Amino acid sequence: MFIMGTAGHIDHGKSTLVTALTGINPDRLQEEQARGMTVDLGFAWFDLPRGSVGVVDVPGHHRLVKNMLAGVGLVDFVLLVIAADDGWMPQTQEHVDILHLYGIDKGVVALTKADLVDPEWLELVQADVEERLAGTSLQGFPIIPVSAVSGFNVDVLKAALNDLLDTLERDEEGDNPLLWIDRVFTIKGAGTVVTGTLVGGCLEVGMDVVVEPENLSARIRGLQTHTQAVEKGVPHSRLAVNLTGLQKTELSRGMYLCLPHRRPHFSLINSFVRVLPLAPAALATGQQVKLHVGTLETLAKVRVLGRDELNPGTEGFVQLELESPAHFSFQDRFILRHSELQENMGGGVYIEEGIPVRGHNLRLVGPDRLRRLFPFEKPVDYLNLDTLKAKYAADSLEYSLLKAADRTFWPIQQFKQQGFNVHPQLHVFGEFVMAPQQFGKVQAYLVSTVEEYHTANPLSPGPSKETLRAATGLPARLFDQILRETPSLQEVKGSISSSQHQLVLSPQEEKELTAMRSLIAEKPYEPPTLSGLQELGYSKELIYAAAHLGLLVALANEHWTTPEIVQQLISMLFEEEVFQNGFELGVFRDRLGTSRKFALAFLEYFDAQGITKRKGDVRTLGRRP
């Protein structure tokens, strides 16, 4: 199934020709039929040997271009209608400009009312049309004289359209449907109905959907294509969707229907814009324009990046702040019109969601951007013209690689929901994804930080793992996986150490440690505290180094002892009968002949190691090391 849009000047016979092709009058409004002028979008359909074609008939009057824009941006090909007796007219040019900016490069030109002119005039008009289409996306379109009234060449036009279908890509797959709403109405006994052109995936009866950007939840009660009820709507079809849970008054043209959490909308975008050579004015920073995307029309404030303005006939990167949020996917096209003169300014291609900038150097502002970056990087390099050029020139897969680098990491579900593919070069860590350069930056930071710590603290195994993780701002699960992928680092008892780092005591430090151990052994059941040892002149660094070397043991409440004393007490617990059937703190204290404070320091250490198990006031033996 394919969608054909019409285009052309008012009263050049678009609707009459559509009726001749389809047998359906697309002018659905009484006002249109009475005046003989299409004022809103009309719809029809017909079958050709090579496929079914839905028709979006658009108005030609210059005051109704916004209605034309609501229909023509989503078509697969176009039927450009030019009356042979009038020839090229102002709205012909305006419509061709719009089609060119949308990148529509498939279609046919119909020279209507061919029976009203002589052959020589017809040849002149045909040559003029060919010349005017040169250099546009419509260049090379077949030009077919036709008369919808007499039927002249209508069959030839159908044959040309049939041949055209073979050149179009069929896209019946996809799992991310999007339907820009162009009509909303109610049907007695059914309820609210919206219509639009479906792209990106299928819709099925019973699906839960949302209407954005209002986040209105609904369920699909029924679907129709070409007045026929269907269970499944396919891409590139005109679709009427009967919704439950929503009222007509809640909906309007310009909203879009999609699956929940699948189609984000934006109020600030970065884009690449071409200004038409015949634009009424330059596109300047601070200017307000009208932006058309899908079926939405909204005001937008302009900020030209890297300069003050884009003159007619030039192109460049532009940041647009939208009055009403809109959905964009990478490389989606939009049209810009002058907000007062109601004339085409140009068109653009969406690159990415924007981050506020100021000045010609694109200096970033806004705390939200900082939260997305690795904490020790400067954000100034994340939005510049070279980066935007690379993204604009990329295909969708390469674009995902560039977009991944905008943040230190992405939750993979969010990455996919934004429409990004997972490039083979991206690092996937479970539920997270990282760009190669970001992974390298994090690794380099971890390695350099640990090495600097070793230099400053030679007696320490390394910085605390949790302190280091908090400094990076990474989730614990992702941090652990990055550590496992960094062979030069290792975890040592809650600290992160270089795999090459070794604790080596100087002769003087070894002498001090021997004296400290002898001091502790003199009163083995009265373990000193950290502060007590420091008061005696022993440094905290030496004490912790001794612990990591296995020469000291940290007990509860910052008491310290030696591993020999610990082993002695473990043997006592497992070998003496008084401890075999459960014991209280007082029994252990009396056996050591020490105070309750010291006995408790030992027992709480044993509890933590699983050597003893406490239940109330009674402890039983656990596992013997």
**Mean pLDDT calculated for residue range 296-303:** 94
- Quick one: how far is CA 424 from the chain centroid? 18
* Residue 433, C-beta contacts closer than 8 angstroms, at least 6 positions apart: 404, 409, 410, 411, 412, 415, 422, 426, 427
Work out the pLDDT band at 494, boundaries 50, 70, 90.
Answer: confident
Tell me what pLDDT residue 175 has: 84
Domain end (from 216, 238, 258): 258
Percent of the chain with pLDDT over 90: 59
pLDDT digits (tens, 9 = 90+) for 381-434: 556 788 889 999 999 899 999 989 888 899 998 888 877 889 999 999 999 999
C-alpha 565/C-alpha 569 separation (Å) is 6
User: Does one domain contain both 497 and 511?
Assistant: no
- How many structural domains compose the chain? 5
C-alpha 100/C-alpha 138 separation (Å) is 7
User: Does one domain contain both 90 and 238?
Assistant: no
User: Does one domain contain both 511 and 414?
Assistant: no
Number of continuous H segments (helices) and E segments (strands) in the chain: 19, 36
486 close to 443: Cβ distance less than 8 angstroms: yes
C-alpha 367/C-alpha 400 separation (Å) is 24
The verdict on residue 370 lying in a domain is no
**Mean pLDDT calculated for residue range 462-469:** 90
* Residues shown for the chain: 625
229 close to 168: Cβ distance less than 8 angstroms: no
pLDDT digits (tens, 9 = 90+) for 533-557: 999 999 888 888 888 788 999 999 9
Residue 502 has pLDDT above 90, yes or no: no
C-alpha 305/C-alpha 547 separation (Å) is 58
User: Does one domain contain both 107 and 147?
Assistant: yes
User: Does one domain contain both 128 and 9?
Assistant: yes
Tell me what pLDDT residue 40 has: 42
What beta strand segments (E) does 236-314 contain? 237-244, 256-258, 265-275, 283-284, 288-293, 296-304, 309-310
pTM of the model: 0.75
C-alpha 38/C-alpha 90 separation (Å) is 17
pLDDT digits (tens, 9 = 90+) for 179-214: 999 889 898 888 899 988 899 899 999 999 999 999
User: Does one domain contain both 190 and 64?
Assistant: no
Could you tell me which of 336, 297, 264, 12 has the C-alpha nearest to residue 146? 12
CATH number at residue 342: 2.40.30.10
Range of the domain at 187: 175-258
Q: What count of Cα atoms within 13 Å lies in the side-chain half-sphere of residue 552?
A: 30
Domain end (from 165, 199, 223): 165
